[in-house]
Chain A
């Protein structure tokens, strides 16, 4: 049999296998290295710091866990959050993340390697990304082979879609969840293939870990049943499926109910009913199979079948009925909004307000997945070619994942693994085909086949043969569909026989091989460059410290920490700080002060209260502030240096959320100009200009410009000549670039006067004595 290029023939199989495993290990080490290294941009550019918002809470909780131990943490009631309600932290979080880093921390302490808990939290995500790469490798290996596995591992290691949630410092549940997701799926596939209860149980155990780690576990809870159901419908019920699913579901569900935050949801909410239903269905089918195998009578079988169907129907009806009777909670808003996409905006503005809950436009798909995004369908099709049970899983995953990713930006994360997997399958198939040195025999075949050397090459050729040996010899003019159907009907024969047959398909010549391979390599290199660029530019800034590029290089803007630290050092321990909920966790973490609302938005009314206070006038807001004994109010203001993520830009959501609760006191339209646009300058609507938020943002802002024109650099609007005045609050602290502004709420006037008049009185007296020089200049 002719070859495109010569192969070494003097290699013993042992050498080959050893080299292969060595190469695999080396490649894998490199992949892990790349995965970790590419996530360290944030640490190198800035420092080892916890990023943005939620991570700060996780970090705080982890510190509690590390210092006080697990039981203290388990029933930790945090009185400083959601003042004055407080929060039962132990029962309202997924403790998996904290537990993980707690264990790591204690282990390192035990072997006398004192590592700061913060560094562990920062480095957790990169570390686990390496593990994710590994589990993806294992998974893909089940789908195709090691080479595809390595490709998949490399992809998921550096693909931005996953890096975006797992750079060093983004210490969030997703950091470990994706690893757990992939590994649970791998174990499920393993269990399904071998029909082993052991792997089923392992899958259940990791499912439990996942449940403890991330709210997204519902994805697994519905993916696996979906797979099982699909197999059932395709008439692929086997005892392996039965064993795998039953062991997974029974143990997994019981285990998951041990997490306090989950509790009885697995039997009480619709999200979990699918799994239960499939479980029941499997029992019925298994029963039918069993009886059928023992009983012969035709009628009895029919009767039995009828019974089984009846039981199924009854079960379904029961579930539905229970749902209507309220025993089973209907879909929660967050999940429901995935199906009815208009739902959130109407009824849960808080969910709709979060930027990562927006639908995904195509550029972000390309940005996050680059060329994988179009290899992905090819891989799915290849899965169809040889339709093993595990391939069906990938197909379903592809469908579901791509839908969810389209609906919500953040769910890009769940799509990414399957994209990597099927893209790897596609690409490695291409490479297999074109690296395989053996050329097909020309129609006049000379039958001297030495398959020895081809075995001794890297295992790619063998695999390719295995995959597509012996389709019926088709005339070269045959149409594609014919060819495909031809391949369909012939089941993938298992190697030896195939190798023995003489080779009909393959690639002629070396140039063709080179062309395709170089093309592929080029794409891979482009992919790497792209990933590095995206990671370093888009996903590596810890929104706590901002960087601005100016004449003398990169300069840090550290206002948040400045202000938070001021709060921590120079205000009483019990001073209650009110801010918009985005900053709740940061204040708790960095300033260590009680907050009214924070990023776990469980109490809409409380948030709406803050929204109302912010969006209504001082006189209205003051009683609210006093009622909640607020001492300090904190606002984020980007107008000076053009930081666009500030509160004025978020203001409309505050209004909306407040309006949801007090529709007759707060109306969104009032905050627009008559011509219906959103302005902060002279034309700003009175409601806008009287709102507490506006006043606090722009208090004494115009003075900064001396006599000159005060301009808001975010909105690009010229501020009015006379700035707002405050009577019920006084400026307590403003950070260097004015990003964070903190105001103290005045106590009631000792003389019992209304604070406005009191203030006016003082002003009248003070006017002569203390006035900042700037005023004098601007007045002159």
Chain B
């Protein structure tokens, strides 16, 4: 997220000025509780701020992240406790002097003095964990290491704070207990079951500044067993082609998959693998197959790689539902790579499907505009997409096009694609994203007009071509090339 903001200077200018103002110490955190749900490629962090206003009319609350976690965080959302609708958040670039990222959360209503509110901040960190040890044999288990900071930074005083680190597997192998921690009364770290609790720490001063970080900030290290493979999509290139003639939305994905688990120690032995499969105790870092959820009504799916069709895949389609009706059904595509993905192995493949355009498109009669929703990406369970390039190809001759994205892309450009029997070519939009997670689902909405003439473009051109051909044939047949006429 942070990086994303850095890359859009336009937004920067707009935001810098208020951010300077909002540094007033108008709040106090009565309590901060951070819960870290450890995982493979993704780590979900939930921080609850119990806020007390010191001045009345103060509405802009500032949340800060340390430099490292700021860079790791790819998704950030603030809510009031118990409410579902997110508050709007303004992000700011890295403050180089203090080494923090600031996010200004706009509270729904200004607080009066001593007014309290509970703010819940959901973030998702990517690449926050790494396999430790970094390589494992074919029959070994898989252990991951999570590193973070001890104190939750805040530009306000904090009465008490604690951090809970929860591991998905029942046991945590080891965790560190930082030495010489200030503000702590009793034990710094306590391990109970699958959870390590750091804190409580009390009466922490304003911590979102360089000297606090330098003096008091301590690292947190937790090493835990992880029972699932750690797939990582190095790059995803999605092309969505809208065809009015075929009443079809084709979505085509080129995926570079990488097993980010511990790299395979030694060599791959098929016989050991077959034994594991036979006894159904596959080592956790081996990725034998991936399961994808396609929209209902998806049909004629395909699964290829550079050497042609991969025969080992299964597809369970769900019937198509019109876009109005909400249904929780989805088609399931189960892909099995040609070979089981050991730690550190790569596999590039291509998959795609067609779905009836009616399911994802609508027509607004009075503006005469079509609106089509294209899914941003298809999430592979507990994986992160490092780089995504999503291209939407509109029908030939589409005019005044508008695009709405659920999440601001890093960059986007417009181009023209010329394919099947096109003459003028089709307008296309390309969006670049990074570190997409399971939270980044959603639709990119495109609205456009297509005049009737554009619809008739293809038949016209084809007809003209054929007529030309016939005319030529007619002429050629009647010309006599012989020198000596009989």
Contact = CB atoms under 8 A, between A and B. Distances in A.
Question: In the complex, are there CB atoms of A and B closer than 8 Å?
Answer: yes
Interface of A: 47-49, 111-114, 118, 545, 556, 558, 561-562, 564-566, 568-570, 590, 700, 703-704, 730-736, 738, 744, 770, 772-774
Given A112-B418, A569-B346, 15 more contacts: A111-B421, A561-B338, A562-B338, A564-B307, A568-B306, A570-B346, A590-B306, A700-B269, A733-B267, A734-B269, A735-B270, A770-B137, A770-B139, A772-B139, A773-B272
Contact of A590 (B271, B307, B309, B422): B307
Interface string B120-164: 000000000000000001010000000000000000000000000
A730 B267 contact: yes
B421 A112 contact: yes
Contacts of A569: 345-348
Contact of B338 (A48, A565, A738): A565
Given A565-B305, A569-B345, A733-B339, A114 B271 contact: no
Contacts of A568: 306-307
A566 B339 CA distance: 7
B419 interface: yes
A141 to B, nearest CB: 19
Given A112-B419, A569-B345, A774-B275, A733 B270 contact: yes
A700 B338 contact: no
Contact of B269 (A113, A545, A558, A731): A731
27 contacts: A47-B308, A49-B308, A49-B309, A111-B465, A112-B420, A112-B422, A114-B420, A558-B312, A562-B339, A564-B307, A566-B339, A568-B306, A570-B346, A590-B307, A700-B269, A703-B271, A730-B266, A731-B269, A733-B270, A733-B339, A734-B268, A734-B271, A735-B270, A770-B137, A772-B269, A772-B275, A773-B272
Contacts of A590: 306-307
B348 to A, nearest CB: 7
B485 interface: no
A734 B270 contact: yes
Contacts of B274: 704
A47 B307 CA distance: 11
- The list of the 8 closest CB pairs from A to B, nearest first, reads A734-B270, A562-B338, A772-B272, A47-B309, A561-B307, A556-B311, A569-B346, A49-B308
B307 A565 contact: yes
Nearest to B269: A731
A736 B270 CA distance: 7
A587 to B, nearest CB: 12
Interface string B412-433: 0000001111110000000000
Given A112-B419, A566-B339, A770-B139, A561 B308 contact: yes
B335 to A, nearest CB: 14
Contacts of A564: 307
Nearest to A586: B307
A566 B337 CA distance: 10
B279 interface: yes
Given A561-B338, A565-B338, A733 B347 contact: no
Contacts of B266: 730
Interface in B404-453: 418-423
B141 to A, nearest CB: 13
B275 A114 contact: no
Most chain B beta carbons < 10 A, residue from A111, A556, A558, A564? A558
A429 to B, nearest CB: 29
Interface in B230-272: 266-272
A703 B348 CA distance: 32
Interface string B293-335: 0000000000001111111100000000000000000000000
Contacts of B423: 112
A734 B309 CA distance: 20
B465 to A, nearest CB: 8
Given A565-B339, A566-B339, A558 B311 contact: yes
Contacts of A545: 311
A562 B266 CA distance: 20
Nearest to A563: B339
A773 B275 contact: yes
A48 B307 CA distance: 11
Interface of B: 137, 139, 266-272, 274-275, 279, 305-312, 338-339, 345-348, 418-423, 465
Contacts of B345: 569-570
B420 A732 contact: no
A700 B267 contact: no
Contact of A114 (B305, B309, B348, B419): B419
B454 to A, nearest CB: 16
Nearest to B342: A570
A48 B420 CA distance: 20
A62 to B, nearest CB: 16
A556 B309 CA distance: 12
Nearest to A114: B419
Nearest to A569: B346
A568 B308 CA distance: 14
Contacts of B279: 773
Contacts of B419: 112, 114
Nearest to B274: A704
A738 B273 CA distance: 12
A290 to B, nearest CB: 23
Contacts of A562: 338-339
Contacts of A731: 267-270
A566 B338 contact: yes
Nearest to A568: B306
Contacts of B339: 562, 565-566, 733, 735-736
Nearest to A591: B307
A113 B418 CA distance: 10
Contacts of B311: 545, 556, 558
B419 to A, nearest CB: 5
Contacts of B310: 558
Nearest to B483: A198
A768 B431 CA distance: 54
B422 A744 contact: no
Contacts of B347: 569
Contacts of A734: 268-271
A732 B268 contact: yes
A738 B270 contact: yes
A737 B456 CA distance: 53
Given A561-B338, A565-B306, A733 B268 contact: yes
A570 B346 CA distance: 6
A590 B305 CA distance: 11
A564 B339 CA distance: 11
Contacts of B307: 561, 564-565, 568, 590
Nearest to A196: B483
A704 B266 CA distance: 20
Most chain A beta carbons < 10 A, residue from B269, B346, B348, B423? B269
Contact of A113 (B139, B271, B308, B420): B420
A623 B199 CA distance: 63
B421 A113 contact: yes
A561 B137 CA distance: 26
Nearest to A558: B311
Nearest to A737: B270
A442 B107 CA distance: 118
Nearest to A732: B267
A358 B420 CA distance: 47
A243 B305 CA distance: 56
Contacts of A558: 310-312, 338
A735 B273 CA distance: 11
Contacts of A730: 266-267
B281 to A, nearest CB: 9
A524 B339 CA distance: 48
Contacts of B269: 700, 731, 734, 772
A48 B302 CA distance: 13
B462 to A, nearest CB: 10
A772 B272 CA distance: 6
Contacts of A744: 267
A744 B267 CA distance: 9
